[in-house]
Amino acid sequence: MTDSPCPPLSDADWPEEIAALRDGFAGQLNVYRTMAHHPALLRAQAPLRQHVVKDSALGPIRSEVVILRTGVRLGSSYEWQQHVSRARKLGMSDTRIAAIRDMPVGAAGPGVKTGCSSAPSMPFWTCVACPPHRRQSWLPPSVAPPSST
């Protein structure tokens, strides 16, 4: 591993103004520990993370499929590795994970039709964090949330 100009913060270096976040989600992953260099950024990330990761309209399995596919499409090995682990914890098989990784651009194979082929290069948080009426315009019917009208 190479030295980073902005390494994740240790507990000892954690800013006091965001101490409450350290004991929750922010202290668990290095991506959040790196964001802690900029407390306002990490504080702003908290509600977005809650909405995208915890309260997603897609549900946990579909969310992981979309995140994994986005990680592949954007070439993010960090995102891929983090979410392979999460997908396995949700019971996703290595065969299904490999199928998501190897799926051609624009294709949707059996059990993988979850919206990730509809917007494969759009960042996950952009898609899921937008209002439901906008989301429905690009999500296939099998994934789109129920109409609020």
> Quick one: pLDDT at residue 2?
60
Residue 145 contacts residue 132 (beta carbons within 8 Å): yes
Same domain for 73 and 38? no
Same domain for 117 and 101? yes
Token pair of 21, please? 């976040």
Q: In the chain, what is the greatest distance between 2 CA atoms, to the nearest angstrom?
A: 52
Q: What are phi and psi of 120, to 5 degrees?
A: -65, -20
pLDDT tens for the 149 residues of the chain, in order: 567 788 999 999 999 999 999 999 999 988 899 999 999 999 998 998 888 888 888 999 999 999 999 888 888 888 898 899 999 999 999 999 999 998 887 665 544 444 444 444 444 434 433 334 444 443 344 433 444 44
Q: How many domains does the chain have?
A: 2
Same domain for 93 and 40? no
Note whether residue 141 is domain-resident: no
Note whether residue 34 is domain-resident: yes
Residue 42 contacts residue 32 (beta carbons within 8 Å): yes
Pick from 82, 52, 49, 48: which is nearest to 68 by CA? 82
Same domain for 32 and 65? no
What is the chain's Cα-based Rg? 17
Same domain for 115 and 71? yes
Its domain, for residue 93, covers: 60-131
Same domain for 100 and 39? no
Distance, in Å, from the CA atom of 45 to the CA atom of 124, rounded to the nearest integer, reads 14
pTM: 0.61
Residue 123 contacts residue 101 (beta carbons within 8 Å): no
